[in-house]
């Protein structure tokens, strides 16, 4: 976006200058907006406010007073209370852009502030942030799940593009399902890979990441290009005996992992059957191996 196409430069305040808030604030500053204030609870958020945003941490009410665009980058469960607190304490919200970054919440969580005159936006970056220096670079090219009232859609889109992201419009009623899809893919993938790495270490594999890296890289590339047609392994082959061996080994070594394996194998079989990749008779054998009903 050329400078002449950009919206007016805004004074930005960050309520919750943690991993996400400090990264998005820095991205807005890089686009030419001014970070005027930030607040945080932890020592880390205070450090990020100073180092990434260039401001001294202050009280939330001072952030609201100083800013024209207020980022609400707090944990999901803290968001409703924060918004209600801003609305009921008489904070000056009239005409100010109030932007939360929660994936699961849409616009309704901002209703108390909107009734006080705030302009509500939901801009959720589809990215994981670690607090490391490369967080800002990760925003470039990532999608944002955007929900906004129709009159504010151009502003929401411009802000995302300025940060280097790609706006994807999500209906307010679809936010919970949208976020469940993302969390199921990214968060559960981390758990599964960590579990697999620990199992490999337990049997003497010194560098499980080196073993898993090429396999997982190929699987991810394949599924993003081909969808369920990329599926490989014993379930889609109908190898019920192998699947039973997996379950038996996991029950002995890591019972909690066995439960997850069975649930995911059933989901895999269900998807493979629906896609015509698995024959009904093969599904019956897998049913016996898994000890439950494949069909929902």
CA 124 – CA 55 distance, rounded (Å): 24
For residues 243-260, one letter each, b for 16 or more C-beta atoms within 10 angstroms of the residue's C-beta and e for the rest, the string is bbebbeebeeebeebbee
The pLDDT tens digits for 24-61 are 999 999 999 999 999 999 999 999 999 999 999 999 99
Main-chain phi, psi angles of 280, to 5 degrees: -55, -40
Query: What's the pLDDT at 7?
Result: 53
138 in helix, strand or coil? Answer: helix
Query: What's the pLDDT at 227?
Result: 96
Q: Where are the domains of the chain?
A: 3-170, 178-290
Angle subtended at Cα 225 by Cα 275 and Cα 267, rounded to the nearest 5 degrees: 35
Query: What's the pLDDT at 3?
Result: 40
CA 3 – CA 28 distance, rounded (Å): 14
Q: Is the pLDDT of residue 19 over 60?
A: yes
Query: What's the pLDDT at 132?
Result: 86
The residue-averaged pLDDT of 65-76 equals 96
Residue with tokens 């024959």: 279
Class of domain 178-290: mainly alpha
pLDDT tier for residue 291 given thresholds of 50, 70 and 90: confident
The pLDDT tens digits for 120-150 are 999 999 999 988 888 999 999 999 999 999 9
Cβ atoms of 123 and 156 within 8 Å: the answer is yes
- CATH, range 3-170: 3.40.50.720
Same CATH topology for 3-170 and 178-290?
no
Query: What's the pLDDT at 292?
Result: 53
The pLDDT tens digits for 189-209 are 999 999 999 999 999 999 999
CB atoms within 10 A of CB 269: 25
Residue with tokens 């609400």: 72
CA 15 – CA 61 distance, rounded (Å): 9
The pLDDT tens digits for 238-278 are 999 999 999 999 999 999 999 999 999 999 999 999 999 99
Percent of the residues in the chain that have a pLDDT greater than 70, as a whole number: 96
39 in helix, strand or coil? Answer: strand
What's the mean per-residue pLDDT of the chain? 93
The residue-averaged pLDDT of 272-295 equals 84
- Going by C-alpha positions, the residue among 36, 30, 45, 40 that lies closest to residue 13 is 36
CA 52 – CA 18 distance, rounded (Å): 10
């Amino acid at each position: 976006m050329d400078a002449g196409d950009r919206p007016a430069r805004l004074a930005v305040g960050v309520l919750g200058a943690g991993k996400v808030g400090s990264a998005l604030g820095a991205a807005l500053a890089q686009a030419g907006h001014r970070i005027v204030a930030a607040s945080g609870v932890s020592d880390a958020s205070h450090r990020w406010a100073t180092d990434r945003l260039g401001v001294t941490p202050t009280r939330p009410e001072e952030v609201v007073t100083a800013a024209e665009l207020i980022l609400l980058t707090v944990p999901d469960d803290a968001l409703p209370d924060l918004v209600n607190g801003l609305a009921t304490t008489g904070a000056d919200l009239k005409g100010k852009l109030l932007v939360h970054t929660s994936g699961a919440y849409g616009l309704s969580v901002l209703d108390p502030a909107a009734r006080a005159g705030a302009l509500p936006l939901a801009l959720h970056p589809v990215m994981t942030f670690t607090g490391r220096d490369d967080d800002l670079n990760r925003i470039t090219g990532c999608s944002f799940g955007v929900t906004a009232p129709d009159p504010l859609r151009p502003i929401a889109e411009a802000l995302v593009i300025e940060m280097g992201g790609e706006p994807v419009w999500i209906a307010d009623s679809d936010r919970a399902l949208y976020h469940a899809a993302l969390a199921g893919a990214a968060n559960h993938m981390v758990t599964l890979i960590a579990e697999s790495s620990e199992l490999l270490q337990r049997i003497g594999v010194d560098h499980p990441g080196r073993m898993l890296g090429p396999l997982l890289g190929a699987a991810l590339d394949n599924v993003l290009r081909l969808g369920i047609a990329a599926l490989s392994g014993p379930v889609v082959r109908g190898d019920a005996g192998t699947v039973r061996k997996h379950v038996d080994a996991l029950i002995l070594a890591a019972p909690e992992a066995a439960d997850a394996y069975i649930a995911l194998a059933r989901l895999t079989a269900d998807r493979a059957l629906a896609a015509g990749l698995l024959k009904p008779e093969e599904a019956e054998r897998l049913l016996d191996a898994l000890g439950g009903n494949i069909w929902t």
